[in-house]
Structure 1
Amino acid sequence: MDGKPAVKVDSDSEQRQTQSTGSYRPGYELVAEQILQLIAELGLRPGDRMPTENELASRLGTSRTVVREAVKILSAIGRVRAQKGRGLYVADDEGMLGSSRWGSFFLPTDLDHVYTLFEFRRVQEAAASQLAATRATPAELRAIEAAADTCREGHVTGQRELFDRGDDDFHLSIAAASHNPFLVASVREARRLQLQSSIIGMHGTVGGHADEAVTEHAAIYQAIRDGDAEAAAAAAIVHLDKTLEDYRREIQRRVFG
């Protein structure tokens, strides 16, 4: 990128690069991060056309093969949209608050960004849970309970994708039950950014907290069902704090062994 040394990445997309910490990362993850930085530097907004794969490869000093793998990652997490025969585009903004405003400064491998994201989630999800306790309809309570059950089933059966789907549905259902569209949009966007930090920054979903998460979900749901706004907010804070602690432990393990 302009003003920055290019990272040379072998054409083999599984080639790993050494960081200053001594850890290793696949080359395509480094390039995915560089593409996010480039989008921000160029001031591209949702719907804007991006440089081609060949142009990205030349600009970043890598191969088109590695760029293609990086684009697959960014497409999967909703940051880039590839249109056959037309090229690459910054993905359309799906949230009211907008990835153009949030995603432009969020880098999934910046630990300070990850920690401040959790700090924000702590505030928003405590508020959403508190409001849901006083506003949730019977149908919304059933949706929250069903999502918690899906998450539990995924954990018990070892189906990580099922667990993740239930987890996502659980948090979004609580936001919906708050009847505040701004909270719904912000919860959705914050979780999307957390997914980016997991896929790019942490090489996959961080584990180790699933068993506790199931119990924590149950506590949040029970407080919302009972109409106890204070307990619902407190349970949500406990859940977010423990999830952040899981991230910190995993980072410590990966960086320092």
Structure 2
Amino acid sequence: MPGEHAVPSWEAGKPAAPYRPGYELVAEQLLSYIVEQNLMPGDRLPTEQGLAQILGATRNVTREAIKILAAIGRLTVRRGAGIFVASSPGALDDDRLAHFKPTSMEHVMMLIDYRYLIESDTAGKAATLATPVEVQAIRGSAAESLAAGAAGDVQEFAATDESFHDHVGAAAHNVFLRSSVTNIRRLMSQTDLLLFHGDVPGSLEAAGRQHVAIAEAIASGNGEKATELMQAHIDTTRHQVERRIRDRLFNLATPGATSTAPHRARAHGQEQPPEVSAS
């Protein structure tokens, strides 16, 4: 009938949805399926073919989605046994972490809120408890992160960034805080890989300078200053991630990143996932 498929007036003029690889869309659908079915760590999923039918995707794209989710630690694939929901990362397992959605803006913002509380407290405690050896390690990793950021070396920066935050966590002399910092970073890495494809939001050099400032506050024993600087550091990350997610969701990023192909065609394409770093 004429007008049966007409676009509603409120939809007219909206920018086309940004192009997204099929495996990424199916990975999101699979994470949602885990939540909807209330599956917990250790629970077994349907077979690859069964998941493809449930998600309405091709088997090849479903296989790539499973591979990427296994690579970021959300699924475990055991040859001859099947596909399972992976255990939550870190020493303080919580079954609810199995339902973290690394491509959900709401979940990512909640994680950053938690990081704000945990890491700012950790920095404050490190300033009052760090030994000379620990201060040296914090300063060294901060300087290395600044050098890597200034050189634009993403992989080296990622390694030194992890080292810096781990050294600060260790200097707080609280196993629970340090474990929480580790868990947060592991979950954030899932977002970096699945949503940003390993890219990093914002300036690496600016982040390196913030690391150095935090290190100096810790070295001086100024817990209040260290806390404030870490809070500012996390706030910077929050703003950068919000901008990147909104760019991706609302197609405000680089021109030419859109596709006029139907949504279902994108979801069922044969794109390959990004390379997965071992770090």
Same fold? TM cut 0.5: yes
Tell me whether 1:75 sits opposite 2:35 in the alignment.
Answer: no
Tell me whether 1:188 sits opposite 2:182 in the alignment.
Answer: yes
Letter in 2 for 1:213: A
The answer (yes or no) to whether the contact 1:103–1:193 under 8 Å persists in 2 is no
CA distance in structure 2 between the aligned counterparts of 1:234 and 1:177, rounded to whole angstroms? 17
User: For residue 95 of structure 1, what is the aligned residue in structure 2?
Assistant: 90
Q: Please list the CA deviations of residues 135-171 of structure 1 after superposition, one character each: whole Å capped at 9, or x if unmatched.
A: 1223322332332233223223332111111112211
User: For residue 256 of structure 2, what is the aligned residue in structure 1?
Assistant: none
The answer (yes or no) to whether the contact 2:86–2:98 under 8 Å persists in 1 is no
Q: Please list the CA deviations of residues 75-97 of structure 1 after superposition, one character each: whole Å capped at 9, or x if unmatched.
A: 22111122233322222334233
Shift of residue 99, structure 1, vs aligned partner: 5.0
CA distance in structure 1 between the aligned counterparts of 2:91 and 2:240, rounded to whole angstroms? 29
The answer (yes or no) to whether the contact 2:41–2:98 under 8 Å persists in 1 is no
How many residue pairs are counted as aligned between the two chains? 238
CA distance in structure 2 between the aligned counterparts of 1:63 and 1:25, rounded to whole angstroms? 16
The answer (yes or no) to whether the contact 2:44–2:83 under 8 Å persists in 1 is yes
The answer (yes or no) to whether the contact 1:75–1:82 under 8 Å persists in 2 is yes
The answer (yes or no) to whether the contact 1:209–1:246 under 8 Å persists in 2 is no
Q: 2:26 aligned to 24, 27, 31, which one?
A: 31
Structure 1 consecutive aligned stretches of length 4 or more whose deviation exceeds 3 Å: 251-254
Residues 244 and 56 (structure 1 numbering): CA distance in 2 closer, same or farther, change over 3 Å? same
CA distance in structure 1 between the aligned counterparts of 2:153 and 2:48, rounded to whole angstroms? 35
The answer (yes or no) to whether the contact 1:206–1:250 under 8 Å persists in 2 is no
Q: 1:156 aligned to 150, 168, 175, which one?
A: 150
Structure with larger RCO (C-alpha < 8 A, sep 6+): 2
CA distance in structure 1 between the aligned counterparts of 2:37 and 2:140, rounded to whole angstroms? 43
Provide the secondary structure at the position in 2 that maps to 1:234.
Answer: helix
Provide the secondary structure at the position in 2 that maps to 1:47.
Answer: coil
Letter in 2 for 1:110: S
Deviates more, 1:67-76 or 1:23-32: 67-76
Provide the secondary structure at the position in 2 that maps to 1:248.
Answer: helix
The answer (yes or no) to whether the contact 2:88–2:98 under 8 Å persists in 1 is no
The answer (yes or no) to whether the contact 1:46–1:90 under 8 Å persists in 2 is yes
The answer (yes or no) to whether the contact 1:33–1:200 under 8 Å persists in 2 is no
User: For residue 41 of structure 2, what is the aligned residue in structure 1?
Assistant: 46
Which structure would you say has the larger Rg?
Answer: 2
CA distance in structure 2 between the aligned counterparts of 1:20 and 1:42, rounded to whole angstroms? 34
Residues 31 and 246 (structure 1 numbering): CA distance in 2 closer, same or farther, change over 3 Å? same
CA distance in structure 1 between the aligned counterparts of 2:204 and 2:98, rounded to whole angstroms? 27
User: For residue 22 of structure 1, what is the aligned residue in structure 2?
Assistant: 17
Shift of residue 46, structure 1, vs aligned partner: 2.4
Q: What 5-or-longer segments of structure 2 have no aligned partner?
A: 1-13, 254-279
CA distance in structure 1 between the aligned counterparts of 2:71 and 2:136, rounded to whole angstroms? 29
Q: 2:140 aligned to 141, 146, 171, which one?
A: 146
Provide the secondary structure at the position in 2 that maps to 1:24.
Answer: coil
